């Protein structure tokens, strides 16, 4: 099922201006994007403030968070959707812990919507999620909880 999506820059005092719009976008992708706390496009990081449905349009309201260089996507031979799982650590430039690949946005949504994840037997708690359109990747920022999964998976 396809729908339409618009990102709007929230200006305060109930004022917003259109930023980017997608006329034909899969509903699963809209839902995955709506679960993201941050949206990166053209080197600008936006923070989601709220979302709405206005008739046929899904709307995500954002504020400008940070501005930097446009990062280019890495070569993705198979065209799969990528999810980077990164340690939330700004000083270390958010070290990559694991990359997952999926065929459908619903799989991305199932991961970024979860609060806890396990990487190599260690538990991580979700801090935030973003969609980085410049690099064409979803990113999940995680914090180690210190809990280690036992050998039998519990």
Residue pLDDT, tens place only, 60-118: 999 999 887 766 656 555 679 999 999 999 999 999 999 999 999 999 999 999 999 99
Domain count, the chain: 2
Non-local CB neighbours of 139 within 8 Å, separated by 6+ positions: 83, 84, 86, 94, 129, 130, 131, 132
Domain presence at residue 34 = yes
Last residue of a domain, one of 67, 99, 124: 67
Domain presence at residue 153 = no
Domain presence at residue 94 = yes
What percentage of residues in the chain have a pLDDT greater than 70?
A: 91
Last residue of a domain, one of 14, 38, 67: 67
Domain presence at residue 9 = yes
Domain presence at residue 20 = yes
Same domain, 17 and 41: yes
Same domain, 53 and 88: no
pLDDT, average across residues 23-34: 95
Same domain, 62 and 91: no
Tokens of 131: 């969609």
Tell me which residue range forms the domain holding 40. 2-67
């Amino acid at each position: 099922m396809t729908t339409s999506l618009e990102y709007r820059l929230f200006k305060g005092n109930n004022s917003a201006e259109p930023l980017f719009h997608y006329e034909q976008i899969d509903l699963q992708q809209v839902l995955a994007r709506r679960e993201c706390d941050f949206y990166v496009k053209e080197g600008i990081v936006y923070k989601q403030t709220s979302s709405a449905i206005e008739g046929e349009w899904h709307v995500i309201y954002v504020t400008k968070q940070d501005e930097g260089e446009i990062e280019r996507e890495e070569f993705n031979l198979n065209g799969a959707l990528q999810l980077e799982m990164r340690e939330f650590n700004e000083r270390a430039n958010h070290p990559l812990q694991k990359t997952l690949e999926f065929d459908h946005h619903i799989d991305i949504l199932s991961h970024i919507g979860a609060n806890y994840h396990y990487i190599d037997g260690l538990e991580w708690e979700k801090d935030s999620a973003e969609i980085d359109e410049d690099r064409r990747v979803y990113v999940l920022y995680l914090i180690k909880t210190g809990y280690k999964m036992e050998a039998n998976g519990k």
